[in-house]
Amino acid sequence: MADQWQEAFDHAVAVARKAGKVVRDALQNEVKVMHKSSSVDLVTKTDQKVEKLIIASVKEKFPTHSFIGEESVAEGHKCELTDNPTWIIDPIDGTTNFVHGFPFIAVSIGFAVKKELEFGVVYSCVEDKMYTGQRGKGAYCDGVQLNVSALKEINHSIILSELGSNRDTIVVNKIFSTMQKILCIPVHGIRGCGTAATNMCMVASGAAEAFFEIGIHCWDIAAGAAIVREAGGVVFDVDGGPFDLMSRRMVCANNKIIADRIIKEIDVFHVERDDAKK
């Protein structure tokens, strides 16, 4: 990572920790839920409050930078990745977990310049763990360097995925078909934390060998992708091609051997890109 972005990285870590405290405090109070696209696609006042906190803090420090925020996009702001330094923000990754008090909730902040990820910061709020990855400088959790698992045998692996919020029968059938095929390779198990950012940090830390999902958004995975890469892992599209932050489809793994084996089993379904014109 260019040293010129060190100040931005330091600010991201500080504001993520501040945002995480807001999330933890909110967990002690009544959680007011509003629905987005469906009864399983949730948003809370805390999501909106945390995103505004992060963006206001960054705008004050870096007034020329751009933003892609989950709640901003939900309110109608364009989801566009340009060459300008861009903060990609998920104020609460794992909103459903947050609503239910399920203890995997993350603040996720990715930072891209010229459409390339420069760093990622994921703060696991309840665990009080700070995961970071800076381009060319490695990945860390609370100052301890992260390294992906060395396993190359998928039948010894733990694979992570999520069911998503789409309840269309055809989509759900494809998701379960993929999981069944991967489970029966066989693998040791399939898990999911309920937050893409945390799942990716599990891959980066070596606790799992891979994570895949179709239907996620750029703000879910930008920070995690930077962290996985800096921990020695790989990130691909679900068809095996290059990772596309806006495609809403991704496989990350400890190595290409594991990634390729998973890609072979995925029943792909269509999702609209994040940057699709409205």
Under 8 Å between Cβ of 190 and 160: yes
- Residue extent(s) of CATH 3.40.190.80 domains in the chain: 154-263
240 φψ region: left (φ > 0), alpha (ψ -120 to 50), beta (else)? left
Marked catalytic residue, from 44, 46, 86, 95: 95
Tens-digit pLDDT string for the chain (278 aa): 457 899 999 999 999 999 999 999 999 886 777 777 777 777 789 999 999 999 999 999 999 999 999 999 988 999 999 999 999 999 999 999 998 999 999 999 999 999 999 999 999 999 999 999 999 999 999 999 999 999 999 999 999 999 999 999 999 999 999 999 999 999 999 999 999 999 999 999 999 999 999 999 999 999 999 999 999 999 999 999 999 999 999 999 999 999 999 999 999 999 999 999 65
Marked catalytic residue, from 220, 230, 265, 274: 220
- Residue extent(s) of CATH 3.30.540.10 domains in the chain: 3-145
Indicate the fold that domain 3-145 takes in CATH: Fructose-1,6-Bisphosphatase; Chain A, domain 1 (3.30.540)
> For residue range 118-169, what is the model confidence (pLDDT) as tens digits?
999 999 999 999 999 999 999 999 999 999 999 999 999 999 999 999 999 9
Residue 19 DSSP SS3: helix
Half-sphere exposure for 212 (CA within 13 Å, toward CB): 29
Any catalytic annotation for residue 70?
yes
Name the CA dihedral angle for 170, 172, 175, 177, rounded to a multiple of 10 degrees.
-70
Any catalytic annotation for residue 92?
yes
Any catalytic annotation for residue 169?
no
Any catalytic annotation for residue 95?
yes
Q: Which two tokens stand for residue 49?
A: 């409050």
C-alpha distances (whole Å) from 148 to each of 27, 105, 166, 246 are 31, 22, 30, 25
Any catalytic annotation for residue 195?
no
Indicate the fold that domain 154-263 takes in CATH: D-Maltodextrin-Binding Protein; domain 2 (3.40.190)
Q: Which two tokens stand for residue 90?
A: 């998920």
